[in-house]
Amino acid sequence: MTRRNQASRVFEEHSQPQHAADTRVAPQFRDIVAIGASAGAIEALTALVATLPADFSGSLFVVLHMDPDPGSKVPQILARAGALPVVAPKDMTRIAKGRIYVSSPNRHLLLERDRVRVVRGPKENRHRPAIDPLFRSAAWAYGPRVVGVILTGMGDDGAAGLWAIKSCGGTTVVQDPASAAHPQMPESALLHNEIDHCIPLDQIAPLLTRLAREPINGHDYASCRPTLKTEVEFDTMGRDITDMGSLGKLSPFTCPACRGALWELQDGDILRYRCHTGHAFSEESLRVEQSIAIEEGLYSALRAVEEKATLLRRLSKGWREKYPHIVSDYMARARALDQSADLLRKLICRGST
């Protein structure tokens, strides 16, 4: 069995969604809380954790966009703020109730049945860790038990993940943009999703406490589409190019990260893109990444043009007396390159990307 097939099999064994048949064994509750935040996250998360009770009956999983520096102090900061234990889990850590699991730098935080995955999968929406992979994996593994929460932040990461949670019968919560230090991420979530609760930050902890004790009714169960499982397997590097056709249609664009082809994926009215190596983009993050690629290309072109002009002038010095016709040609070409360099500088300074 190949390594990829082994990874896929392990995921299938531990990540099947819990459907109505499970309720015959034991009652289910909205006790899997997935939280995403970006700019302003530390302050918002500290305030949220501080108001969660010590007997909180669910498990919380937090992804915030962070620097890849491995010296993150987020778990310690949140542990000091509230009564619940806070950990940065290792891969395959078993899930316990009444605990907060926080993403690690440069690693995605994903959920399987009864355990946490911490993986260095492809970046999504220009981030690793990213919010959408956590939300998507939680939706597939736990269905209506999931509560997805979007807090303050820039960009639109988490909007597609909330759509996945809602489509699998979960509950969606967004911080009221008016109470967010950076409202863009909550506004994007509201724009693209049917949100169950849009409330100020200080009302989120009491809501989560109530939902964690609220039994799930039979009508809350929904059928998760199989492509969610496929995408989670891309996040764990367990899929390859042969699966792309099941996700969407081939687009005319290429991946800014690896230059591979991009496929268009449609989640409700949310249009996304994913390449066969797993990089994924919202429309906004793709635009930003393309702009970065254009600027890098302009600087690369400017460097090459200036180097060639300099080389032509140096060659001309040695051939001035012996080959005057060559010198004249080289100097003319150098002046033309100078004009091209000036144009490139103007394009860079104008921010035309």
Catalytically active residues are 38, 65, 157
Contact 162, 172 (CB under 8 A): yes
Query: 62 near 37, Cβ under 8 Å?
Result: yes
CA–CA dist 186, 48 (Å, integer):
16
SS3 64: strand
Question: Whole-angstrom Cα distance, residue 18 to residue 49?
Answer: 28
φ, ψ at 183 (rounded to 5°)? -80, -5
Asked if 178 contacts 198 with a C-beta cutoff of 8 angstroms, the reply is no
Q: Is the peptide bond before 129 cis (omega within 30 degrees of 0)?
A: yes
Assigned token pair, 254 = 């290429």
SS3 content of the chain, % helix, strand, coil (to 5): 45, 20, 35
Q: Residue 150's beta-bridge partner residues?
A: 36, 174
Whether 124 and 279 have beta carbons less than 8 Å apart is answered as yes
Token pair 């989670």: residue: 232
